[in-house]
Amino acid sequence: MNIILLGPPGAGKGTQAHFLVEDRGMIQLSTGDMLREAKDSGTEMGKKVAEVMARGDLVTDDIVIGLIREKLEGENASGFIFDGFPRTLAQADALDTLLSETGETLDAVIEMRVDDEALVSRITARSTCGGCGEVYNDITKPWPEDGKCANCGSTDIKRRADDNEESLRQRLMEYYKKTSPLIGYYYAKGKLRSVDGLGEIDEVKAAIADALA
């Protein structure tokens, strides 16, 4: 089964993708994570994308399609979760082509709905653990008093360069202009399943399981 998680920044795609990996052994392909890795590696491409990402703009289609192509060719397992890809109609077309080349199909597109007000407060309060990737929130799930991650004990509190109000506004703008048309596109293809992304993490997880059943 191959699925896409679609939704605005902060909708919880990464959190839910982790569950699908743990529970179903699927493979998560997050273009955001791939681009952050490229950025940290200090290559020319990495330096170029770092600025674009920090502003909240989209990276060019060529770059992200190239990254996805590499991964799809490298893995022969079935069961991909596309997280943060496609983000434009051109990327959606490229994904169609890539999947058909490998004889794979796209089974479902899960749209995670969250209102804008909630996105802003989720994202500006977000931090993650540099040790294990656990996601924290200053209001709903603050770091333990001793500053050590409850999961792995690391004290490496990371905040993303683009998790500030200005970049977030730009990311939302990009989402509405370029990515949200994909909702109609996949609806017309009969692939779209919409879930309420505002509930508790477990409720959202259950809603996704229902949508995939």
Question: Which residues in this chain contact ligand ADP in the complex, by CB under 6 A?
Answer: 9-10, 31-32, 35, 52-53, 56-59, 64, 84-85, 87, 91, 162, 171
β-sheet with 192-196: strand ranges across: 27-30, 80-83, 3-6, 108-113, 192-196
Residue 126 known to be catalytic = yes
Q: How far apart are CA 121 and CA 117, in angstroms?
A: 7
Kindly name the residue from 71, 160, 178, 191 that is annotated as catalytic: 160
Residue 159 known to be catalytic = no
Residue 153 Cβ, how far from ligand ADP at the closest point, in Å?
A: 25
Kindly name the residue from 13, 39, 122, 205 that is annotated as catalytic: 13
Binding at 93: pick from ligand ADP, Zn ion, none (beta carbon under 5-8 Å per type):
none
Residues 145-204 that bind Zn ion (CB under 5 A): 149, 151-152, 154
Residue 113 known to be catalytic = no
Residue 55 known to be catalytic = no
Residue 18 Cβ, how far from Zn ion at the closest point, in Å?
A: 13
| Side-chain-facing half-sphere of 53: CA atoms under 13 Å | 23
18 and 205 Cβ atoms separated by less than 8 Å: no
Residue 41, CA distances (Å) to 25, 37, 69 in order = 28, 6, 19
Residues 85-144 that bind Zn ion (CB under 5 A): 129, 131-132, 134
- C-alpha gyration radius of the chain: 17
Q: How far apart are CA 191 and CA 6, in angstroms?
A: 12
Catalytic residues: 13, 87, 126, 160, 171
Residues that bind Zn ion (CB under 5 A): 129, 131-132, 134, 149, 151-152, 154
